[in-house]
Structure 1
Amino acid sequence: YGASFIVDAEVSWPFMENASIAIGANNLLNTYPDENPGALGVGALYPESTPFGFNGGFYYVRLSYDWLWNSRD
């Protein structure tokens, strides 16, 4: 099997006093493992044991809010 390069990234921006929004990706470049040479016989296109998943990239947006904030005196 050949070498692969995986990139995970996330960027977050604060807004309001206690909230933030983030966008990110796991496997940003949508890298897949090498195909399983015996795939036709067993029905598994990718090997079961790979250092990264066989589902490709995962992209998300997250909204966070801190309910317990410090009072500012």
Structure 2
Amino acid sequence: LLAVTHSPQVAAKGAAHFIIAKSSEGVVTRTSVRALDDTGRREEIARMLSGAEVTAEARAQAERLLETAA
């Protein structure tokens, strides 16, 4: 099952985590997909929780979400 989500609570429950990015240059649009390791996953969930600036509180909450989901 592949789920695309903007919800950190849903993302924390997955067995694997991928980040999808889209970029445009003129009329060309590219999409990239990258698998995240445990550190990257924790950081991405923290970013989903806090927005552009990742805080220590968001990192701690991301860790709790991942521990709860395990």
TM-score, with length taken from structure 1 = 0.24
TM-score (norm 2): 0.25
Q: Which has the higher strand share?
A: 1
In terms of Rg, which structure is larger?
A: 1
